[in-house]
Amino acid sequence: MGTRSRKAEGTISRRRFLAKTGLALAGTAAAMATEGGGAHLGRAEAAPPAAPPGEPKRGGTLTVSQSVDINTLHPWNGTLNVWKVTKTNIYDQLSYQDPATFQVRPKLAKSFVWTDNNTSLVVTLPSGVVFHNGEKLTAEDVKFTLDSIRDPKTGSWLRGFLGPIKDVQVLDDTHLKIKTETIENQLIPAFTYVDIVPRGMGTDLVKQNPVGSGPYKFVEWVPNDHVTLERHPRYWNEARAGHVDAVDLVYDFSLQEVPRLRADKSVSVAVVPPADQMFVVYLNLRKPPFNKLEMRQAMGWALDREGFIKNFLAGLGRADNTPFTPQHWAYDPKTQGAYAYSPDMVAKLLEKAGYPGGRGLAFSFLVPSGYPEFKQIATLLQATFASVGYRPAIEEVDIAQWAARLNRTRDFFAVVDYPPRGSTDPALTYSAGLLFPPNPANVGGLTPEMIPGYVDELRKGATTLDRGARKAAYFKVQELWLEHLPGPIYCHRSTAHAHLPSVRGFVPHPAFQQSFADVWLAK
């Protein structure tokens, strides 16, 4: 709960709501105490809406229950979805992905224009933007943010997102020019992840309380208890506010709860169709056994995807072999069914890799506690390999240790995860994150030499505006991935969120860039 919660008459407590829905979540609650007004900026319509439309009411507290606690306050280095949900409301980003259409639009930026023969991106900012500490936000702060993330010493996982940037030039307080070699389709989508920070704070942000210019200000973080935010009264877009009391929303709960909650008329359930989050396994390509192609292919055949979706996702998922679903323009239909469930194929590939009957094989799965779906996938994979002669161990560790071993020490064989960006521009999908880019940020150790032609096709897709040429390039990228399989993609999952019918304006975001600025309570 938030430290500044003020319950209105007739509200329901966190404990009562969780008891009512039967949901028990260990972790943090992000409470946003709000006072004063606002309306809506580029608001998308929920489908289906949580409640009939109405005039937003002001005031109250929104307490958002999440499955695990955050593990950092650093805006550029934290990788957990729970932190992404929180910081999206503290900071402004230059662009945002519309949660209904998935299109990327300007947010803090007023416009993006390619100039200088498509080697410069000019960004226009609004005037009058103020950080939570009272300082004025200018193009200098945006330059500081972009330059800091690009600096290897910062250690940001976002550095690869901004790789195409050669220089950032400030033209005046509200204009800056971002220099590149050519059009880079990944940049504007990448800016949805870049939190703008006051340049006076420096880069040692892990030891400081967050200061942004977003609709909510950071108040406190009590580890394993709560994060409290309050409304930013000088938010530059005067039309935004969030208004609810106590716990009226449970964010991203188990999909197995969806059928029961849908039958409960006193609870509203919002489900995002499978499009963005994908279940994958990161394989350590630096050492045996996954430096062998046959072992990677065996992992592709080892999961009963349809069984997992039916039994553990309540049917709210889709088996896929690529980052994209058929709704995405870059989806290659030839990839459907490239890998399916076949213990016989697993056995044959183990023998071909030099591990007949599993003899001599040694690897394990690393999963984080608090993420039951990760462990379920690992358990199903474990059972398949056990059926052909080798039973890999499953090592379950706390989320902080899991993230450290994945991102820093690279001490793992196989790691289950569900990264985002299946719904964004493919230029960002393939240049960002831990699985696809063949650079030092790749946790598995993927290099350009491991997939001949992969980098060439990625560049073709990333540097042209011709949709047909881009589609052809990304079709080839997907086919090359499945041929060499640096890491299997198993399926996409929906996300589900429950709230009381009195909550209005909640539109769930497919990639956890969840703003609560438009949420209000009809009471």
**Residue 189, pLDDT above cutoff 60:** yes
Beta-strand pair 495-499/268-272: antiparallel
Average confidence score pLDDT of the chain: 85
**Residue 18, pLDDT above cutoff 60:** no
User: Which DSSP letter does residue 43 get?
Assistant: P
**Residue 24, pLDDT above cutoff 80:** no
Using one digit for the tens of pLDDT, what is the confidence trace for 82-141?
A: 788 888 889 999 999 988 888 899 999 999 999 999 999 999 999 999 999 999 999 999
Concatenated DSSP letters for 183-212? --TTHHHHGGG-----GGG-S-GGGS----
CA nearest to 8, candidates 251, 247, 269: 247
In the chain, domain spans = 14-90+214-272+495-521, 104-205, 278-493
Distance CA 91, CA 511 (A): 16
**Residue 523, pLDDT above cutoff 70:** no
**Residue 296 burial (10 A CB sphere; 0-12, 13-18, 19+):** buried
Q: List residues bridging with 365 in a β-sheet.
A: 394, 414
**Average pLDDT of the residues in 480-501:** 92
**Residue 453, pLDDT above cutoff 80:** yes
Query: What pLDDT, on a 0 to 100 scale, did the predictor assign at position 100?
Result: 80
Using one digit for the tens of pLDDT, what is the confidence trace for 389-407?
A: 999 999 999 988 998 999 8
Structure confidence at residue 64 as a pLDDT band (50, 70, 90)? low
**Residue 299, pLDDT above cutoff 60:** yes
**Average pLDDT of the residues in 230-255:** 62
Distance CA 509, CA 104 (A): 13
CB atoms within 10 A of CB 44: 16
Using one digit for the tens of pLDDT, what is the confidence trace for 136-168?
A: 999 999 999 999 999 999 989 888 899 999 999
Q: List residues bridging with 104 in a β-sheet.
A: 97
**Average pLDDT of the residues in 22-39:** 38
Distance CA 186, CA 67 (A): 30
Distances 8 to 59, 62, 521 between C-alpha atoms, Å: 10, 12, 11
Query: What pLDDT, on a 0 to 100 scale, did the predictor assign at position 17?
Result: 54
**Residue 38, pLDDT above cutoff 50:** no
108: its two tokens: 């803090």
Distance CA 401, CA 412 (A): 11
- Written as one letter, the residue type at 468 is G
User: Where is pLDDT greater, at 397 or 68?
Assistant: 397
| Residue 401 CB contacts under 8 Å (≥ 6 apart), including other chains | none
Coil, helix or strand for 217? Answer: strand
CA nearest to 514, candidates 145, 252, 125: 252
**Average pLDDT of the residues in 55-61:** 63
Q: Does residue 210 contact residue 73 with C-beta atoms inside 8 Å?
A: yes
Q: CATH 3.40.190.10: does it fit domain 14-90+214-272+495-521?
A: yes
CATH number listed for the domain at residues 278-493: 3.10.105.10
**Residue 334, pLDDT above cutoff 90:** yes
**Average pLDDT of the residues in 159-180:** 96
> Has this prediction a pTM greater than 0.85?
no
User: Where is pLDDT greater, at 171 or 82?
Assistant: 171
CA nearest to 156, candidates 495, 505, 440: 440
User: Where is pLDDT greater, at 463 or 70?
Assistant: 463
Query: What pLDDT, on a 0 to 100 scale, did the predictor assign at position 31?
Result: 41
* Fold of the domain built from segment(s) 104-205: Dipeptide-binding Protein; domain 1 (3.90.76)
249 φ/ψ sector (left φ>0, alpha ψ -120 to 50, else beta) = beta
**Residue 129 burial (10 A CB sphere; 0-12, 13-18, 19+):** buried
CB atoms within 10 A of CB 55: 8
CA nearest to 521, candidates 505, 498, 510: 505
**Residue 481, pLDDT above cutoff 60:** yes
**Residue 358, pLDDT above cutoff 50:** yes
User: Where is pLDDT greater, at 476 or 14?
Assistant: 476
Query: What pLDDT, on a 0 to 100 scale, did the predictor assign at position 245?
Result: 29
User: Where is pLDDT greater, at 147 or 423?
Assistant: 147
- Peptide bond before 48: cis, by omega within 30 degrees of 0? yes
Q: What percent of the chain has pLDDT over 70?
A: 84
Q: Does residue 104 contact residue 424 with C-beta atoms inside 8 Å?
A: yes
CA dihedral 6, 8, 13, 16 (to 10 degrees): 170
Structure confidence at residue 366 as a pLDDT band (50, 70, 90)? very high
